[in-house]
Structure 1
Amino acid sequence: MNMECYGKRRTLHSFMDEEKNSTQSSLSPPNHHNLSYKSIQELCDHEQQQLQISSPPSSIATMYSLIPPPSPESPWTLSPLQTPSPSLLYHCITSLHRQDGIIHSVAISKGLVFTGSESSRIRAWRQPDCMERGYIKARCGDVRAMLAYGNTLFTSHKDHKVRAWSVASSSSLEKNYSHFQAKKIAVLPKKGSSFSIFSRARGASGQHHKDCVSCMAYYHAGGLLYTGSWDKTVKVWAVSSGRCVDSFHAHEDNVNAVVVNQDDGCVFSCSLDGSVKIWRRVYGQSSHTLTMTLKFQPSPVNALALSLTTSSCFLYSGSSDGFINFWEKEKMSGRFNHGGFLQGHRFAVLCLVAIEKLVFSGSEDTTIRVWRREEGSYFHECLAVLDAHRGPVKCLAVSLEIEKYVMGFLVYSASLDQTFKVWRIKVLPEAGEEKRGCLEDNNNNNSEEGDGAGDSKTKMKFEHSPVLSPSWVEKKLQDVHPLHH
C-alpha cells in the first residue's frame, strides 16, 4: 500500500502530532477535559484481547504496521482492532455535563453549536472547543428539534410551536468581543394566520401541531420548513410569511424524522409504524403527494439521513432493531431500490448523519459507529466505534474540516447520560485497489456475516462490548420493548 500519493510518506499519526500542542492548549477552560490515550486504551482492552486470540491476516497486519503507534501522551487512538481499517483516528476533545437535563437536539451554524434540552435555555457553544458563548431563554422548554440555516435557528418547544431566532456567527462575536445574543423573529404558527381549505379536506389537523414537534427539515430553494410531529402529521411552512401552506397525515404513528433532497425537493419521512415515505410537491401548488413507501422490515424507524454526491443518492434509515437500511436512487426512474443494511449496533439506532461518503450512527447501545461507503458499490466499511458515553446516544451533529491530505470531522454527540461530547476524527482517503483487495481477503477469512448489500457482502466480526452503566443494562434487560422518545 503506497501512501506517497498523500504526501512524502507521512502517516496519519504524523498529522495528529503536529496539532497536539494546539489542541491541548485550546481545552484549558474549567469543566472541560480530554479523554487520555491511556483511558481510551483501557476502553479497547477487549479488542486487544480478541486480537491476541485470533491474529489478523498478514495483509491486514502489514497495513496496520504502516502507521506507527502514537506516543503514550497522545490523545489519538487507532480505530477498534476488530475493524479492518487503519485509515481513521479519533479522540474525544471535550466532555461536558450540564444541569439542564437530557439534551434532545443539536444544531451547527457558522462556528457555533446549539444544544436544546429539557430546560427552556438553548445554549450556544463555540466550535471546536465548546466554550459557552451564552444562551437563548425561551418561554418554554423541551426543545426536541433544532435546525440551523445561515443566521436563522429554528427550535421546537413543549407548546408544540416552532420559534425562529436570528443569531450572530462566531466570527462576529470574536470581532465585536460581545456576548452571544439572539433575537426571536417568528413563532409558527403565528396568531391569526389562515390555513388552506385543501389541507383541511385531506384530514389535516389545522395549523397547530397537536403533539410534540419531533423533527424539522428546510428546503433552501423553496424557503419551506417541514415539521414532523407525534400527532402523525407533517406540516409545511412558508418561512417568509410564517404561513402553514400544507399539512398532511403522513403516518399511522409518531413521525420521528424528516429530510429533504435539496436537488429536487423530495421529502422523506419515517415513523414508529415502521415505514419510510417519499413525498413530492404537486407541480404549481403547495400541496404534497405520496410517491413511494419503503418498508423493508416491521421495526420502528427512528432516524433518516440522505447522502448526496455528484454520482449517487443514498437514503439511510435507522431502526429499533439495530439495523441501518439503505436505498439507492435510480438515475433514470427516480425510484429508490433497497441496497442492503448495515449491522453492528446491538440496540436501537436513534440518530443518523450522512456527510460525504461517511455515515455516523448513534445507538441505544451507547456507541457511535462511523461507516464509509465504497465508491460505485454497496460495500460499507465500519471504520470506528466510539464508546465513551454511558447511556443511549440521542442526537448527533457533524461538521467537515477540510485539510490537505486528510479529511477531518468534528462530531457532536449528546446522550441520555446527560453528557455532551465533542470528537475530532481524521480519515485518510481510500488507498485504491491494493487496500480494497486486503479488505476483501480479510472479509473472506471471517466466519460471521455483517452487512448484506446486493452482490457485495461485508463479513465482519462485531465482538465489541460497549461500556454500559450497570443500571442501564439492568433496565434494558427488564424492558422487552425498545426505547422510544
Structure 2
Amino acid sequence: MNHTIQSVKIDRNNSMSSYFHGDEDDNTYKEVNQSPSFNQFSLHHLSFIPEPPSSPSPLLPPSPESIWSRSPLLTPTHPSLLYCCISSMHRDGDIYSIAVSNDLVLTGSSGRRIHAWQSLDCHAKGYIHASSGEVRAMVAHGEVLFTSHKDHKIRVWNMKNCSGTSTSSSSSFKPRKITTLPNDSHFKKIIYRPITPQIMGTSKPIIIPQHRDTISCMAYYHVEGILYTGSFDRTVKAWRVNERKCIDSFIAHGGNINDMVVNQQNGYLFTCSSDGTVKMWLRVYGENSHALIKVLVFHAYPFHALAFSVAVSHKSFLYSGSTDGTINYWEQELSCRYTHGGFLQGHRFAVLSLVTIENIVISGSEDSTIRIWKREKGRGNIHECLAVLEGHRGPVRCLAAFLQKDKFALSFLVYSASLDQTFKTWRVKLLSSEVRKSPFGDDDHDDDDDKEESKSQMEFETSPVLSPSWVKKKLQISRSLHKLV
C-alpha cells in the first residue's frame, strides 16, 4: 500500500514563485513594550480549515466547535493528530531565517533587527540591532546565537539570561555581541587549504578571509566547537569559535550552497547545492582540513533544504528537499555508510525548508503548504503524511520546531515564515502509541503483536490527498492566467 501522495514534476521556470513578488552593532538590548497584533483565534480567520468539498473527500471536516483540525485518517489504529494555527503575524519585509534558543524564537529578515519572541505564547521579547541586515541564516546552541549578514560576515551573540516565561516585561532580554567573524586578525592568521592546484612558484594562494557572496546556511558542530558556513560563492568555511578564526575553507559545489547539517555523533558534514548534488564531508583526523567522503546523489533538480534525524536506536536519517517537490532520505548503516532509503512525494512544487523532531519530519514548500510526516518504527522506515497545514499564501521559506512537555501526546510547536511576509505558529499534538495502549502503562502486548495487527489492517489504509481548498485556490489562479492569455 502506498502511503504517500504522487507528485507532478514541473519545470522550474513555471514554479509558483513567479506568482509572488516577493552604525555599529548595538550591544545593548532593545525593549518592546507590547506584543504584535495577532489575528483573532476565531473560526472565521482560520484559513487552513478546508472549504466543504463538492464531492466526498478522505479529509475529515473540522469540528464546528473547535479550532483544531483533524488529520487524514490513514488507518483505524493510527494515532490521532491535531493541529491549529495559534498566531499569525504580518511583517513589512521577508523573513529569511528562524532559530530556537532555549525558550525564545528568533527571526531574521531583510532588515537589521533580529526579533525575539516567547516560544510558547509568541509574546514579543525585544530585538537585536545589528549594523548589517539580510540575516539569511541563524543557528543557536545553548546561550550562543550565530547570525549571517549582508556584509558576508558572521556575528556571535551571547543570549545568557535572555529567556524566561515572563511576558509582562522585556527587561530580561539583554543579548550581547561576542565577536564578528572574520575580524581584523583573520587577514594575518588565515589558514586556507586549496582544492584547486596552486600557482607555480607560490607556496600558498592569497585569499580574502571571508565569503565573497551571501552566507546562505550554517551548522554548528558543538562537540568540537566548529561553526560551518556555506555560501553562494560555492565555498564552505570552518570556524573554530573559541579561537575566533577560520581553520579551513574549500570549494564544495559547482553552484550555490543552499543548506547544510552536521551529524553530532561523528562529525559528518552534509551540504546541498543548486548543482543538484548532496555531498558528505569529514574533517581529516588530527588536521583542520576536510575531505569529500561521498556524493550521495546527483540530481537533475537543485536541492534547497536538508534535515537530520537520529532515531532511538542511534540510527540516523538524512532528508533533502529538491525543486521537483520530492524529499529524498538516506539511512545510516552500522559502518557509518549512508544508503538511499527512498523518497517522499506530496508537494506539488519545490521543497524549500525541512526540520525534524524525533521521528517527525516537517516540510515547507513553494506550494504554500506545510506537511507533517511520521517515520514508522519497525515497518521498513515507512513514512506517512499525517497532515497538510494550510494558511500561508506564498512559498514557505523557513521552518523551526520546539518540543513541548506532554504526558499524553507528542506535542510540539511549528514556526513558519513565508514569502507572503507572514510568520505563523502552529501547535501540533500527536497521541503516542504508548498512551493509546493503556493510560495506566500496564499493557502486556509487545511490539511484535502491534506489527501483526498493523499488517492485518493495511487493507483499510487510505492515502492522504491535497485538501479541496488548496486545489480550488490553484485552479482559480490557473483560470485567471488563462483569461489573461
Q: Shift of residue 429 of structure 1?
A: 1.5
Sort the Cα spacing of 1:41 and 1:110 in 2 relative to 1 into closer, same or farther, 3 A. Answer: closer
Residue in structure 1 matched with residue 191 of structure 2 by the alignment: 196
1:107 aligned to which of 99, 108, 112: 99
Corresponding residue of 2:369: 367
Q: 1:449 matched to which residue of 2?
A: none
Contact 1:305–1:317 (CA under 8 A) maintained in structure 2: yes
| Aligned AA (2:458) | E
**Cα separation, 1, equivalents of 2:481 and 2:218:** 33
Summarize deviations over 1:405-460 as a string: whole Å, max 9, x none.
111010000000000000000001246447734762134xx6xxxxxxxxxxxx55
- Give the equivalent residue in structure 1 for 2:470: 466
Q: 1:150 aligns with which of 139, 142, 163?
A: 142
Instruction: Tell me the matched-pair count.
Output: 421
Report if the CA contact (8 A) 1:365-1:466 is conserved: no
TM-superposed CA distance for 1:354, in Å, is: 1.1
Contact residue 48 and residue 390 of structure 2 kept, 8 A: no
The verdict on how the C-alpha distance between 1:407 and 1:291 changes in structure 2, with shifts beyond 3 A counting, is same
Q: 1:33 aligns with which of 35, 39, 62?
A: 39
What is the CA deviation profile of residues 159-212 of structure 1, one whole-angstrom value per residue up to 9, with x for unaligned ones?
110101112332287799615222111101111221125348778954210000
**Does the alignment pair 1:171 with 2:164?**
yes
Give the Cα separation in 2 of the matches to 1:347 and 1:229: 24
Q: What do residues 53-86 of structure 1 show as CA deviations (whole Å, max 9, x unaligned)?
A: xx79xxxxxxx8xxxx986342211014689856
Deviation at 1:96?
0.4
Question: What is residue 428 of structure 1 aligned with on the other side?
Answer: 431
- Give the deviation of 1:468 after TM superposition: 8.6
User: 177-186 or 245-254, which moves further after superposition?
Assistant: 177-186
CA distance in 2: counterparts of 1:173 and 1:190, whole angstroms: 36
Work out whether residues 217 and 260 of structure 1, in 8 Å CA contact, stay in contact via their aligned partners in 2.
Answer: yes
Matched, 1:442 2:460: yes
Q: Which runs of 5+ in 2 are unaligned?
A: 1-33, 199-204, 437-449
Q: What's the counterpart of residue 395 of structure 1? A: 398
1:79-478 alignment runs, 5 A limit: 79-80=71-72, 87-99=80-92, 101-167=93-159, 168-171=161-164, 178-193=171-186, 194-199=189-194, 205-295=207-297, 297-311=299-313, 312-331=315-334, 333-376=335-378, 377-430=380-433, 432-433=450-451, 436-437=454-455, 440-443=458-461, 461-462=465-466, 466=470, 473=477
- Specify whether residues 255 and 43 from structure 1 end up closer, same or farther in structure 2 by C-alpha distance, changes over 3 A only: same
Whichever structure has more helix as a proportion of its residues is 1
Give the partner amino acid of 1:380: H
When residues 362 and 477 of structure 1 are mapped into structure 2, their CA distance, relative to the original with a 3 A threshold, is: farther
Q: Tell me: CA distance 1:302–1:195, structure 2 relative to 1, closer, same or farther (3 Å).
A: same
Give the direction of change, closer, same or farther, for the CA distance of 1:326–1:121 in structure 2 (3 Å limit): same
Among 50, 62, 81, the residue aligned to 1:44: 50
| CA gap 1:429/1:202 in 2 versus in 1, 3 angstroms | farther
Report if the CA contact (8 A) 1:390-1:469 is conserved.
no
Counterpart code for 2:225: G
Cα contact 2:274–2:303 (8 A) shared by 1: yes
Give distance in 2, aligned partners of 1:175 and 1:375. 43
Aligned to 1:436, what secondary structure does the other structure show? helix
Instruction: Single out whichever of 82-91 and 154-163 deviates more from structure 2.
Output: 82-91
**Larger relative contact order (Cα-Cα within 8 Å, sequence gap ≥ 6):** 2
Deviation at 1:467, TM superposition (A): 7.4
- Name the residue aligned to 2:15: none
**In the alignment, is the contact (CA less than 8 A) between 2:192 and 2:247 conserved in 1?**
no
On the 8 A contact 2:162/2:174 being kept in 1, the answer is no
- Could you list the per-position Cα deviations for residues 114-144 of structure 1 after superposition, in whole angstroms to 9, with x for gaps in the alignment? 0000001110111111111111111111110
The answer to whether the 8 A contact 1:44-1:80 is kept is no
* Counterpart code for 2:377: E
Name the CA distance, whole Å, in 1 between partners of 2:480 and 2:271.
28
Q: Alpha-carbon deviation of 1:110?
A: 1.2
Q: Cα distance 1:434–1:424, how it changes in 2: closer, same or farther (>3 A)?
A: farther
Structure 1, residues 356-404: CA drift from partner, whole Å, max 9, x if none? 0000000000000000011132211100000100000000000111211
* Structure 1: runs of 5 or more not aligned: 1-27, 57-63, 447-458, 479-485
SS of structure 2 residue aligned to 1:346: coil
State the AA in 1 paired with 2:424. K
What is the percent sequence identity of the aligned residues? 50
Give me the whole-angstrom Cα distance separating, in 2, the residues matched to 1:42 and 1:267. Answer: 36
Q: 1:474 to 1:246 in 2, by over 3 A?
A: farther
Residue range with higher mean Cα deviation, 369-378 or 388-397:
369-378
Pairwise CA RMSD: 3.1
In 1, Cα distance between the equivalents of 2:133 and 2:384? 39
Structure 2 CA distance, aligned partners of 1:386 and 1:102? 20
Assess if the C-alpha contact under 8 Å between 1:82 and 1:461 holds in 2: no
Normalising by structure 1, we get a TM-score of: 0.79
Q: Secondary structure at the match of 1:74?
A: coil
Distance 1:78 1:276 in 2: 35
Contact preservation (8 Å) 2:50, 2:469: no
